Amino acid sequence: MYRAIRFASALLTLLLTTGLATNVQAATHSRTVTVKMAEQGEGHYVFSPANITIHVGDTVVWKNTTDTVHTATADDMSWDSGDVEEGQTFSHTFSQAGTIHYHCHYHRAMGMVGTITVLTGPAMPSTGGGGMSGSVHAPDLLLGSFIAALLVLGALLVRAGRV
């Protein structure tokens, strides 16, 4: 009987720890989004895509796919890539929510501009599989693990004749 209770206690601890570990992993998930510095027609340069939405903690990588020097420069000058040569990249990780307008220093007047919308909270991994889509919410992971652990503990106590 005590062996069953110790086993249930260990299982409860394991399930809760796993739930907390999954919770931490989901809460710290971040992603990288690539924006190309591209040529669209003869001598017309663009950021592609020009407008993106990311989450706090995500990283944007700009890759120069042209034979011309470009920059990725925040309009408010909070960050600047400096010159990005052909084939080179520049990356920036966003730590605050908000909307950031940016441009290429050399081609702004030609329309080489973009917008990044940074949402509060980290991106959560997709649940995937079974045709389902959406996000995994960290509190749901913890609650689900806790309920599963309580069910197992209850079943073991019933089996041991304690309930």
Number of domains in the chain: 2
Residues 74 and 18 in one domain: no
Contacts of 111 (CB under 8 A, 6+ apart): 44, 46
pLDDT mean over 49-58: 97
State the residue range of the domain holding 70. 32-119
* pTM greater than the 0.75 cutoff: no
Select, from the ranges 42-46, 100-104, 125-129, 139-143, the one with the highest average predicted confidence (pLDDT). Answer: 100-104
Residues 43 and 111 in one domain: yes
Select, from the ranges 20-24, 27-31, 53-57, the one with the highest average predicted confidence (pLDDT). Answer: 53-57
Residues 64 and 97 in one domain: yes
Residues 7 and 72 in one domain: no
Structure confidence at residue 20 as a pLDDT band (50, 70, 90): very low
Structure confidence at residue 42 as a pLDDT band (50, 70, 90): confident
Does any domain span residue 88? Answer: yes
**Tens digits of per-residue pLDDT, 88-117?**
999 999 999 999 999 999 999 999 999 999
Q: Which residue has the higher pLDDT, 89 or 129?
A: 89
Residues 115 and 57 in one domain: yes
Residues 75 and 152 in one domain: no
Full 3-state SS string of the chain = CHHHHHHHHHHHHHHHHHHHHHHHHHHCCCCEEEEEEEECCCCCEEEECCEEEEECCCEEEEEECCCCCECCEECCCCCECCCECCCCEEEEECCCCEEEEEECCCCHHHCCEEEEEEECCCCCCECCCCCCCCECCHHHHHHHHHHHHHHHHHHHHHHCCCC
